[in-house]
Amino acid sequence: MNKVLMISVLIFLAVFTVQAQHSEKTLEQIREWFKEVNAKTSQYRKVEYADIQINKDINAERYSMEGEEIYRLGNVHMTKFFEGVQIVKIVVDFYGDRQDLTSEYYFKDNNLFFVDKIWTVYKKPKWLEGFKETERSTVKNRFYFKDDQLIRWINPEVSSVGKMDPAYPKHETKILNDSNLYSSIE
């Protein structure tokens, strides 16, 4: 019985080690693509959208799930970067009453591979006398994708967020929905 248990544990460890190495190679490849896109940003064709209408109350069928979370969303600005006809990066800036969100979506061969989000919460409403842009807090999140699946979520405040976290599949769904929406806007 002990031999069977020992062999099972060794097989499990071997498979786990191989899978972890493959996962790290995938993450390294994504990081290289990220660096490549950002190094060549000035070479890409850039298309700006001054105020895109993606609020749920405007078009219930096609709305930004992440934009719905912004308190008193006022304006949404989007910039797309193209290499030839392929999208390589989309930057979406959400401006709200007390919150802003910048989401950067990265693509390789029309497939989403990385999303970087910076959420800013201001201590006071922007319209209030005495508002100071420096009185704020920020939260950063990084999402790694492969084959339309979230494979790693990093929040520097809590390190890596595990797949068992209830928010993990919700973020995956939200990001894929919004990525498809932003890609389709012309």
pLDDT in tens, 101-147: 999 999 999 999 999 999 999 999 998 898 998 999 999 999 999 99
Q: Which of 152, 180, 185 is nearest to 168 (CA)?
A: 152
Residue type, position 143, single letter: F
Predicted pLDDT of residue 137: 93
Radius of gyration of the chain (CA): 20
The b-or-e profile of 23-49 (16+ CB within 10 A means b, else e) is eeeebeebeebbeebeeeeeebeeeeb
User: How crowded is the C-beta side of 79, counted as CA atoms within 13 Å?
Assistant: 11
Residues in the chain: 186
